[in-house]
Amino acid sequence: MGMARAVETNVLVVDDSSVVRRLIKEHLEDYNYRVLLARDGAEALELYRSQDVHVVITDLEMPRMNGLELCWLIRADDDQHRTFTILMTTDADSQRRIEAFDAGADEFLIKPIDLPMLRARVRAGERITRTHRAMANLLNTDYLTGVMNRRHFMERLERAYDESVRHGAPLAVAMFDIDHFKTINDTHGHSNGDLALKRFAENSAALVPEGGFLGRLGGEEFGMVLPADDLAATIAQLERIRESTAALTAVRADGGCFGFTVSVGVCPTQGAESAVAVLARADEALYFAKRNGRNRTVV
């Protein structure tokens, strides 16, 4: 049977018939796909939201939530097209197909299912989602440091801010700016400046608390969003990042070493009118951290 896959492909099979579910599951598992099963759209949607699903194969007629609704809801969630959807039905009517594609389905298959044909469609889906995922990754990632880029950070910040307001769960936004970075470039060269940025990003990424995220805003400026139910604890986390930054060593290609420091400005989201306003206030706090001698955290 098929060879083991280097990258696992998760396939969600949705059908109210246990016979169809088992048939497709056993067939795909023989070809080393990881198969998840759901009996209707509602069950499928729950699995879809909790797992990273590459391909959905769904029946059309099902109780509770049918295949068309499921396709609609997945497409509404999945604006980067990370998931490929295949709709199955016994009805070959062309109006049905039009509805399926308008609901966001990528493929349409008539039952009884021709299993090798289904597998060929799954392979096509794998190719497409792999490309979309690679593109989304490029679109969202800072090339030098591998953390979120500014565009993606701002998008995530807006979303996190809205959720925080909705659920009354306070967040804080921190801005980091490496101190005297121009001097680092001038002293050690631009490529070692880049090295300092990478060292800072990897160290900080490892210290992002659960529920938080880090991005590069530009140049030697980074942003972080952190949960802040307890602002003092959040500030202590940021202080740990600042202190561990000062303890980092960057090793140049010629073996020489250098260190650097970072200044931090932080602002809690509570009481702020927008995500952008919180970031602007964190930037003001950062300005005071610089004015007061750098290598410090200011709220």
Which residues are known catalytic residues?
220
Phi-psi region of 176 (alpha: psi -120 to 50; beta: other; left: phi over 0): beta
Q: Is 236 exposed, middle or buried (0-12, 13-18, 19+ CB in 10 A)?
A: exposed
Binds 284: which of Mg ion, ligand GH3, none (CB < 5-8 Å by kind): none
Q: Between residue 160 and residue 199, which ones bind ligand GH3 under the rule CB under 6 A?
A: 177-182, 185, 190, 193-194, 197
The residue whose two tokens read 């759901």 is: 38
Does position 294 interact with ligand GH3 (CB under 6 A)? The reply is yes
Q: Taking the CA of residue 197 as centre, how many other CA atoms within 13 Å lie in the half-sphere pointing to its CB?
A: 23
Binds 193: which of Mg ion, ligand GH3, none (CB < 5-8 Å by kind): ligand GH3
State the minimum distance, in angstroms, from the CB of residue 179 to ligand GH3.
Answer: 4
Does position 61 interact with Mg ion (CB under 5 A)? The reply is yes
Number of residues that bind ligand GH3 (CB under 6 A): 16
What does DSSP assign to residue 90? Answer: S
Give CA angle at 208 (6, 224), nearest 5°.
Answer: 115
Mapped onto helix, strand or coil, the DSSP state of residue 87 is: strand
Q: Could you tell me what percentage of the chain is helix, strand and coil, using 3-state DSSP and rounding each to the nearest 5?
A: 50, 20, 30
State the minimum distance, in angstroms, from the CB of residue 154 to Mg ion.
Answer: 17
Does position 290 interact with ligand GH3 (CB under 6 A)? The reply is yes
Closer to Mg ion by Cβ: residue 61 or 78: 61
Instruction: Find the binder of Mg ion among 108, 181, 213, 260 (CB under 5 A).
Output: 181
Q: Between residue 160 and residue 179, which ones bind Mg ion under the rule CB under 5 A?
A: 177-178
Q: How many other C-beta atoms are found inside a 10 Å radius of the C-beta of residue 1?
A: 6
Does position 146 interact with ligand GH3 (CB under 6 A)? The reply is no
Binds 185: which of ligand GH3, Mg ion, none (CB < 5-8 Å by kind): ligand GH3
